[in-house]
Structure 1
Amino acid sequence: MNGTVTGVPDGDGFLFLHTPGPGWQWPLKFRWMPKLKPSGAGEVIRMRMAAIDAPEMGKGGEEGQPFSIESRDWLRSQILGKTIHCQLLKREGQYGRMIVLPFLPPRFLPWWLTGNRGTNLPEESIRRGWAFVYESESGVFPHPQKREGYLALMREAQKAKVGMWKNGTSLETPGQYKKRTKQAVTPEISDDVVEASEEEKSWIQLKLKNIFGRR
């Protein structure tokens, strides 16, 4: 899926407006982004990046984890307002989010000319020291064998003391933080089958409008 990032609430998730088909990019641009509501409700998809877990933002009056804001701000600086490509890996039935492998496309040549999808954002987030590798063995990875590669990237970031590792490696993981604060641990995957919510139905309607080029 190709689309535009309309919001970044934390370091491992974002809001995504699907823009299928040609005409969204220069020099062949003839479609324009719709005017979104402040919340984006009904028009965007909630995406969660596969393989990683960023420091948790504060919720319900609870103070967030150290570096949660820095992690979110780094991701915002990379993708907010930009067109990215998302490879869909799983849908979270209970929470309505999509688990994706997102890529920030190359700046100059399109991927279909070079075969290069661009910057792998979960890998880059780990490399910059702004995310943990997802703890659970049941976490979604592009391929099961990729987990070791992601862990190796995290060890390199720790050794280089970049991002949240600048003061050492003894950091509380997001999973440990949720248990300590007695928050519900959000499963990364779910096999629940659910009907489309009103938000999803609205998104489908918007998608159909986009396909037919309606401004």
Structure 2
Amino acid sequence: MQDVENVYQNAYNRTKCLEGLFIHDISNLFQIISNSIELCGSLLKEGLITEEILEYFQLIAQQLTRGKKLIRNVRTLADLEEYEMVLEPVEVFSELRNAINFSLISFPERKIKVKIISDHENLNVMANELLSEVFENIIMNAIKYNKKKIAKIEIIISKVIINSEKYVKIKFKDNGIGIEDDRKNIIFQEVHLKRRNPNGMGIGLSLVAKLVELYGGEIWVENRIGGNPTKGSNFIILIPFAKKDR
């Protein structure tokens, strides 16, 4: 009986995780689509037919495709009796580049510099297609919560071994507003959401933490500069290697 309860509880937790992700990301998608349509309208009123308009229409199409994928995932998770989250080898750099590209086009008016640092070219972890959602949440928060003229994000990827287990370590270093020390332990907790505005950073980070946990990994945040929480943050993720890379 206890095993059955655990199965349903795990399925319920996964469903709530993606439900929150769906609401959070769909809201972002609609905002991006709305902004793109508004910009296209302004250009058309001025009689301008440019490549910029075509880029905005491509952005709208991308968001619609992304929305369809999210809906499909939510429908899959809705079947609590049969669904189990299947993990498979996922290539980190490919998902990361997709997340970077999406984040950059989501802030067309911001100056953003993203740099990837790694001694490796191809690394596979045990995850699924939602890994890009994890990366996007962290990158977009680093841009959104940044008052600098140029938002800078440095992503360092390496291999580590902890307690005989092999992981891919992904560190996101930003020059944003930082996170106070007394909040570092609660920003990943779901209870933190009830105290924040629905558009706040806590929503994305809570979902990120849940997904990373489902992957068998860990996530935490540190000050970019030791002892000074106002000079940016380091978000660090550990995800187990895919079996073929062990």
TM-score (norm 2): 0.20
- Higher RCO (CA-CA < 8 Å; seq separation 6+): 1
More strand by share: 2
User: TM-score, structure 1 length as denominator?
Assistant: 0.22
